[in-house]
Structure 1
Amino acid sequence: MSQRVLKTSLAFAIAAASSQTLASGFAINEQSVSGMGTAFAGRSSSAEDASTIFGNPAGMSRLDREQVSGGVALLHAKTDIEDASGSAAGSNDGDMVPFIGAPMGYYVKPLDDNWTFGFGMYVPFGLVTDYEREFQGRAYGDRSEVRIITLQPTLSYRFNDQLSIGFGPTINRIDGELSSTVPDPFLPGNSAGVKIKGNDTALGFNAGVLFELSPQTRFGITYHSKVDYTLEGDTEIEGGGLFASAAGKYDASLDLETPESVDFSVTHDLNERWTVYAGSTWTRWSRLEAITVESEGISGPLSPVFSTISEEQEWHDTWAHAVGAAYKLNPQWVLKAGLAVDQSPTNNAHRSPRIPTGDRKIASLGAAWSPNADVTVDFAYSYLKEDDTDIELNEPLKGSYRSTYKNSAHGLGAQVTYRF
C-alpha cells in the first residue's frame, strides 16, 4: 500500500476549507456584528465601537469613552450534492455543516488624550464538517473540526487629530480533530477508522494605522500577522485485516502556519445621515502548500505509510472586496447594507469533500439601535452564495468519487455595546 493511498484520509483537519464560514478558506469574518451589517466594508476605518480592536487597533483612539462590546454570530450552511458517482456505494445527503456560533467580546479604556488600552476575544479561524456515516466519498473525508480562539491586549496612540497607530499581540489557542474511514483494498467490507487530534498555543500580532483626512473622511490599514503552530496530539487507528498491525494510539505532531492578511478601507460621511464604506482584504493563503503529520511509535509493515503523511494543498493568495452604506434614520436607529465578493484559495486539482468551496458573493443587512447615549444594540444578517464547485477524485485503491457541490450560508448576529 502506498503513502499516496492514505494521505488525504490522514492529513490534519486544518487543511480543510468549509462553506459554513463567511470568509475565504477556513477564516471567519464575524469578529464584529456592527461591521457585519455593511459586509465588513470599512472594517479598518470605521472605528465605531470597541470591536475596532480586531478591525484596526488604531481606531481605539477615536473612542472617547470607556466601553465594552460583546456578541455572537450564528452561522447556518446549506449544501446540496448533485451528479454524484463513484466506485463505492453510499449516500450524498449534503448539509454536513452543523449550526455553529462565533462569540466575540471587547473592552476599551482611554488612558489620557493620546493613549488608549483595549482587550479583545474573538474567533479568527474555524470550521466543522460532519458527513453522514455512509457518505459515498467517506474515503476522502468524514469529519473535520478546527477551533481557534484569540485573546488580544492592545494599545493605541494618537499623534494628532489626523494620525493614530495601534498594536496588539495575539495569544492564539488552536484545537483540531479529523476522522476518516479508510477502505481495506483486500478485504471487502472491512475498513479502518482513523482519528487525529492536536492542539497548541502560539503568538502573533495585529497592527494598524488610521489617517483622518478630514472630519468626514478617514482611511485605515490593518495587518494581521501569520501565526506558527506546532500542534501536539495523537493519531488513533482502529481496524482489523490489513490495518490490524497498525491499530493503536500514537503521538503525533503537525507544523502549521495560518496566513497573514492586510485590510485597507475608507469611510466617508456624505452628510449627517449617510455614510459610505469600501474596503479590500488580501490574504496570503499560498503559505498552505502542504500538510504533513508526523506520528511516532508505529511499527509493522504499515509504519512507512502512517509515520509521515503529507497532503498537497497548493492554495493561492486571495482578495476580498466590499462596499457598504449606513443611513441614520433618526437619533435612535441606523440602517446598514453591504455587498462583498470573496475568492476561494483552493484549486481544482486538490479539491475534495474536505474543501468543497468556490468563489462567493455576500449580501448583508444590519441595524443599530441606540435607546440612549450609553447603549447600542447591533443586529445583522448575511447571505452567502458560492459558485458551484466540482470534485473529481480517483486514487489507487481508494476508488473514485465525483460530484458537484452547491453551497450557500446564512449568518445572523447580535452585539451590545455599553459606554461608561
Structure 2
Amino acid sequence: MKKLWLKTSLAMAIGAVSTHSLGNGIAINEQSVSGAGTSFAGRASSVNDASVLFGNPAGLTKLKRPEVTGGFGLVDANVDLDNASDETAKGDMVPMTPVPFAFYASPIDESWHWGLGLYVPYALISDYEKSFGGRFKGQYSKVEVVTLQPTISYQINDRVSVGFGPTINKIKGKLVSKLDNSAAFGTGETKVGIKGDDVGYGFNAGVMVDVTDQLTWGLTYHSKVDYTLEGRTRITGGDGPIFSAFNGQYDASLDFTTPETVDTSVTYAFDDKWTLYGGATFTRWSRLQEIVVENQGTPSILGLSPIGEVSEELKWHDTWSYAIGASYQLNPQWVLRTGLALDPSPAENEHRSVRIPVGNRKVFSLGAGWSPNPDLTIDAAYSYLRENEAKVNQHSTELAGREIAPGFSAEYNNSAHCVGLQATYRF
C-alpha cells in the first residue's frame, strides 16, 4: 500500500522534461542558435562560435580570437487533447518562457584554448488549468538544471583536436498535484506540493578531426550526472478522517540520474558556398526505469506509512536521433541555414504521463547569420516541431480500496514554433 498513495503526485519529481523544446525526453537543445538553424545536424563537427563549447569542446581550438556568445531560445507550444476522459482537459499548459545561454572562449597559445559556458540542458514549465481532469496526475511542474562548464582544449596537430570540460549542475524543481478527499470520507481536494534541489557533477569530452580539407568529423560524450535531491513534501487541504492526518510538511529525498549521450556528426564543405551536415545522437534513456521518493516522519495508518516511500515506473528505452542540414554562404555578410531532425520519444504509451506527454517528433529549421563586420555576428533561427500522436492512459490510484486519484486518458497532438536569437562578439 505504501507505494500507492501519492504515487502520481510525486512521479517525476525531478524529471526535467522539455515538453516542447528541440530535444526529446528530458533534454533541451537551446544552447546555440547558430546550431539550431541546421537542426543541430553538425553539432559535434562544426564551429560557428563559442557555443561549440557545449557541442564539442574540442572545437575551441578553431576559434582564433577571444569571443563571447550569448542568446536565448523561445518556444511557443500548441497542445491539443483529443478523446480526453475528462471534458475539462483543454491542454493549454506550456507558458512561453525564454531559455538563455552564454559562452566565452579564448586561445592561450597556438595549441591550448580555454572557455566557460553557462547554459540550461534540462527544463520544464507546465501549468494546466485548475479544473484539468488530469490534475490528480499532475497539475503544475517547474524544473530546471543550470550548468556551468569550464573547458580546456588542445590541438594535437594540424588535423586533430581534443577537449574536456567538467560540469557543475544545479537542479531544482516544484511540482503540484491533487487528491480527491471524497474518496477518503471528506470533501474538496488535497493539494500535494513538492520542492527539491541538489548540485551534481559530470563532464563533457570531445574529439574533432579534419579528415580532409573539406571533411570534418566530431564525437562528443556528455556524461551522466547523479543527483540526490533534498527538499520537502507539503500536504494541505486534507479533509475527512484519513487525509486530515497527513496535512503538514515532510522531509523528502530522491535519487535521480540524467543519462549520458554520445553525439557524432560530419561537416562537408562542398565548395566556398555550400556546406553539408549530418549527425546522430545516442541517449541512454534506459537509466530511467523507476523513480523512488523517500519521505521522512510521515504518519501511519493501521501500522503502515503510505507516503513513506513513493515510486513511479517510467520504463524508458534508449534512443537514436538523426539530423541533416546545409548552409549557404550568400556573401561575406550573410549565411543561410536549414535542417531536418527526427527525434523519437523514450516513453511508451503504457507509461506516458500528463507531465511528459511527448511523442516521436520531426523538426524543420531555418536560420541565418549576419556579420556586418569581422568582430560581430548576429544569428537567428526558426524551427517548427511536430509530434506523432502521443497517448496517455494513467490508471486511478487507490487507498484501502477507495479511489483517491482518478485516472486520466487522452490523445496528445503536440506542435511548437521555436525561435532563437544570439550575438557573438570577437575581441
Q: TM bucket by the smaller chain? A: over 0.9
Q: Give the letter for the 1:409 counterpart.
A: A
Quote the RMSD (CA, aligned, Å). 1.4
SS at match of 1:214: coil
Distance in 2 of aligned mates of 1:123 and 1:32: 11
1:190-229, aligned counterparts within 5 Å?
190-229=188-227
Q: Does 167-176 or 18-27 show the bigger shift? A: 18-27
Distance in 2 of aligned mates of 1:387 and 1:19: 13
Q: Deviations over 1:156-197 (max 9, x none)?
A: 000111100000000000001111001121336432100010
Alignment partner, residue 161 of structure 2? 164
In the alignment, structure 1 residue 310 sits paired with structure 2 residue 311: yes
Native 8 Å contact 1:74 1:413 kept in 2: yes
Native 8 Å contact 1:226 1:260 kept in 2: yes
Distance in 2 of aligned mates of 1:416 and 1:16: 27
Q: Deviations over 1:196-221 (max 9, x none)?
A: 10000111000000000122110000
Alignment partner, residue 363 of structure 2? 362
In the alignment, structure 1 residue 148 sits paired with structure 2 residue 149: no
Closer/same/farther in 2, CA of residues 349 and 166 from structure 1, 3 Å limit: same
Distance in 2 of aligned mates of 1:45 and 1:386: 27
Q: Give the letter for the 1:202 counterpart.
A: G
Distance in 2 of aligned mates of 1:393 and 1:235: 22
Native 8 Å contact 1:357 1:386 kept in 2: yes
What stretches of structure 2 of length at least 5 have no aligned partner? none
Distance in 2 of aligned mates of 1:18 and 1:148: 11
Native 8 Å contact 1:15 1:313 kept in 2: no
Distance in 2 of aligned mates of 1:133 and 1:18: 22
Q: Give the letter for the 2:244 counterpart.
A: A
SS at match of 2:358: coil
Q: Give the letter for the 1:290 counterpart.
A: E
What stretches of structure 1 of length at least 5 have no aligned partner? none
Q: Deviations over 1:82-111 (max 9, x none)?
A: 11125xxx6111120110111110111100
Native 8 Å contact 1:390 1:402 kept in 2: yes
Q: Give the letter for the 1:77 counterpart.
A: A
**TM-score, normalised via structure 2 length:** 0.95
Alignment partner, residue 345 of structure 2? 344
1:75-224, aligned counterparts within 5 Å?
75-86=75-86, 91-184=88-181, 185-187=183-185, 189-224=187-222
Closer/same/farther in 2, CA of residues 16 and 188 from structure 1, 3 Å limit: farther
Native 8 Å contact 1:172 1:202 kept in 2: yes
1:178-327, aligned counterparts within 5 Å?
178-184=175-181, 185-187=183-185, 189-238=187-236, 239-241=238-240, 242-301=242-301, 304-327=305-328
Distance in 2 of aligned mates of 1:352 and 1:232: 24
Native 8 Å contact 1:12 1:196 kept in 2: no
Percent identical among aligned pairs is 53
Q: Does 372-381 or 234-243 show the bigger shift? A: 234-243
Q: Give the letter for the 1:195 counterpart.
A: G
Alignment partner, residue 418 of structure 1? 425
Native 8 Å contact 1:376 1:416 kept in 2: yes
SS at match of 1:20: coil
Native 8 Å contact 2:5 2:307 kept in 1: no
Shift of 1:30: 1.0
Aligned residues: 417
After superposing on structure 2, the runs of 4+ consecutive aligned residues of structure 1 that deviate more than 4 Å are: none
Distance in 2 of aligned mates of 1:319 and 1:128: 25
